[in-house]
Amino acid sequence: MLKGKKILLGVTGSIAAYKAAFLVRLLVKEGTEVKVVMTNSAKDFITPLTLSVLSKNPVFSEFSNSNSGEWNNHVELGLWADVFLVAPATADIIAKISSGICDNLLLAVYLSARCPVWIAPAMDLDMFQHPATQQNIQRLVSFGNKIVSPAYGELASGLIGEGRMEEPETIVRELKQHFSLNGFAGDKKLPLNKKKVLVTAGPTFESIDPVRFIGNRSSGKMGFAIAEELAKKGAEVILICGPSNQTIHNNTIHRINVETADEMYDASLKYFQDVDVAVMSAAVADYKPEKTENKKIKKTGDEISLKLVKTKDILAELGQLKKKNQLLVGFALETENEIENAKDKIRKKNLDLIILNSLNDKGAGFQVDTNKITIIDSNFRQVNFDLKSKKEVAVDIVSAIVANLK
């Protein structure tokens, strides 16, 4: 699948640079030709000699050889590659790439590359989550670059969270999927190739007045992870998202932003009829204010009464509209009688699968990077999973979807 492909690997100054050695070794083992371009700061973490021996090619880091005067042609390198993979990519290099700065050979190669560019961020948790970094990553996605989302785990600082460069084995596997999806692997297909999938994610906000609203603590992390994993498996993904700070790293995902339960209802019904699978992971408000005030409500007394009315039940509506060839996946977040309530939801809403998690499980639920789930099908068969990162949980959920496709 990768045999004969030309991979240009960019290495930058991160502690994760040691992984570049393993990455080169794996790529060479797959039959690729690998060339390496590295920044000067990367040399503090791994030597050019190491990468040269493993790749069986010279390593480039300067525009020219000061001894011979020979020019390292960045244009030629950019044209040579089938994929330019920057791994690890520091916050600094991501910021420079997004701004078009060109103060080293690696950046010059990036600006010259005509092939797909993959970027694997590696940095500490707070650096990765900083709005500046997230904005830079979104710019890279808008340029058509592929972001290899960092993994969740222990970081060099001692913190635990998202920011670790993805493991070399995973990156190589995703490269294989890339070439397969783009017609380099004969008749082999990704499991969700040519499938259309609708995903909902995040909370909904129901306005009380122009300032206040009723909402919930959903961050959208689980839904976004599912959307990303579905796209990796070849699906055409439509992501309907309530208010969320989460970002899309796969530029093939079509994101539709909504705010209220009514807006999510309308968008879901609009797209549902044309999809093969619907994964309804959004935490939609069950109630909304009967009346929304046009002006901010002033504090005039010790009490205030707010009348709430039910919102439309999106999942139940889709269950009624579902065709025989469609797969409908619901979610249940429970605090008591978890299994019984989830099974009841399957019956009442005509679901094929339900993903159950409990707020009684430490590390599961809203605004955390982990989750612990049970998957139950329409025959009430259930599979329990251990606590995992939400990215790993997304893999389990998508695997269950693939296994249950009609």
Which domains are seen in the chain, by residue range?
Answer: 6-181 (3.40.50.1950), 196-290+306-403 (3.40.50.10300)
What does pTM read for this prediction?
A: 0.67
Whether 188 shows a pLDDT value over 50: the answer reads no
For 11-42, the pLDDT digits (tens) are 999 999 999 999 999 999 999 999 999 999 99
Tracing tokens 């979807």 back to the chain, one arrives at 401
- Please, what is the average pLDDT of the chain? 91
Whether 55 has a pLDDT exceeding 70, the answer reads yes
The mean per-residue pLDDT over the stretch 394-401 comes to 94
Q: Given a cut of 80, is residue 328 above it in pLDDT?
A: yes
Q: Is the pLDDT of residue 50 over 70?
A: yes
Q: pLDDT-derived band of residue 367, with 50, 70 and 90 as boundaries?
A: low
Residue 278 carries which DSSP code? Answer: E
pLDDT at 369: 78
Would you state the pLDDT for residue 65?
74
Hey, CA dihedral for 207, 209, 210, 214, is it positive or negative?
negative
Closest by Cα among 264, 239, 258 to 249: 239
Q: In the predicted model, is pLDDT for residue 8 greater than 80?
A: yes
Kindly report the number of other CB atoms within 10 A of residue 112's CB atom.
Answer: 16
* Cis amide prior to 88 (ω within 30 degrees): yes
Which tokens is 230 given? Answer: 């579905």
Residue among 211, 207, 215, 206 at smallest CA distance from 296: 211
Q: Is residue 66 pLDDT above 80, yes or no?
A: no
Q: What tokens does 321 get?
A: 């509209």
Q: Which amino acid makes up residue 49?
A: L
How would residue 187 be classed by pLDDT, with cut points 50, 70 and 90? very low
- Does the pLDDT at position 44 exceed 70? yes
Give the integer Cα–Cα distance in Å for 368 and 222. Answer: 9
Q: Rounded CA gap, 179 and 170, in Å?
A: 14
Sign for the CA dihedral angle at 85, 90, 92, 95 comes to positive
Q: How confident is the model at residue 1 (pLDDT cuts 50, 70, 90)?
A: confident
Catalytic residues: 216
pLDDT band at 69 (very low <50, low <70, confident <90, very high): low
Higher-confidence residue of 135 and 188: namely 135
**Is 90 exceeded by the pLDDT of residue 371?**
no
Predicted pLDDT of residue 171: 93
Over residues 348-377, the mean pLDDT reads 84
CA 204 to CA 258: how far, in whole Å? Answer: 8
Which among 151-160, 238-247, 362-371 has the top mean pLDDT?
Answer: 238-247
Per-residue burial over 121-148, b if 16 or more Cβ lie within 10 Å, else e, is bbbbbebbeeeebeebbbbbbeeebbbb
pLDDT given at position 364: 67
Provide the 8-state DSSP code for 380: -
CA distances from 78 to 36, 85, 115, 373 (A): 12, 11, 7, 44
183 pLDDT higher than 70: no
Does residue 110 register a pLDDT over 60? Answer: yes
| CA–CA distance, 297 with 303 (Å, rounded to integer) | 12
- Token reading at 61: 């880091």
pLDDT of residue 323 exceeding 80: yes
CA distance 334 to 359: 6
SS3 251: coil
pLDDT tens digit sequence for 130-147: 999 999 998 998 888 999
